[in-house]
Amino acid sequence: MSKVITRYAVILSLTIVLAAPVFTAYAQAPVLVSADKLEKVVPSSFYFEGQVAPTQMRNGAAVRFGESQNLIAALVDTSGYASNIRSKYEGFIISDVSVKVGAENLSAGAYGFGFTEDGKMNIFDIGGKKLITTAASKDDKLQSPRPLMISIVQGNRIRLYRGKSYVEIAR
């Protein structure tokens, strides 16, 4: 009986020791990537619906979860795009981890997005298929908003702002 208990104790101890780094990385709160390091993580251009648009680096932001998992968002210059693409696509999100955008799950990957006049955010795959539509909130207390920014709310939640409109993203 004591050999069985010892065996289970060893197995349980090994499981805890081996799983601890995974739980620690998952539990780490997001950290804003500093402006001087954005150039290393934000791509200079983005592919969407068969076209490539340059990134507006001044309107890029990123957060890091743990050591090497990022969520990156930026606006792109769509001046050369057809009007039907410009009207729905204004930026991109690249995430190394699965997240929730509002109440919707978004797998790790690269996506285009656009905020609508009626207070919604649409997220598209890179082929232009709409994947998510979620309600955006408005932060009327925000003074002098940047065209795009990310702020950390609390815990593992962040806000992706497009002007005063925002959606909450959680890991």
pLDDT in tens, 78-114: 887 776 776 688 999 999 999 999 999 999 999 999 9
How far out from the chain centre does Cα 56 lie? 17
Task: Find where tokens 């190394």 sit.
Answer: 96
Whole-number CA gyration radius for the chain:
20
pLDDT, tens digit, 9 for 90 and up, residues 2-23: 665 556 544 545 455 454 444 4
Task: Find where tokens 């993580």 sit.
Answer: 41
In a domain, 26, yes or no: no
Question: What total number of domains does the chain contain?
Answer: 1
In a domain, 151, yes or no: yes
In a domain, 133, yes or no: yes
In a domain, 5, yes or no: no
First to last CA, the chain: 43
pLDDT computed for residue 87 by the predictor: 66
In a domain, 86, yes or no: yes
**Could you give the count of Cα atoms lying within 13 Å of 88 in the half-sphere of its Cβ?**
19
Q: Which range of residues forms the domain containing residue 138?
A: 31-170
In a domain, 63, yes or no: yes
Phi and psi torsions of 81, nearest 5°: -80, 160
Tell me the DSSP string of 88-146: T--EEEEESS-EEETTEEE-SEEEEEEE-TTSEEEEE-TTS-EEEEEEPEE-TT--S--
Confidence of residue 75 (pLDDT cuts 50, 70, 90): very high
Residues contacting residue 125 through CB under 8 Å, at least 6 positions apart: 109, 111, 112, 131
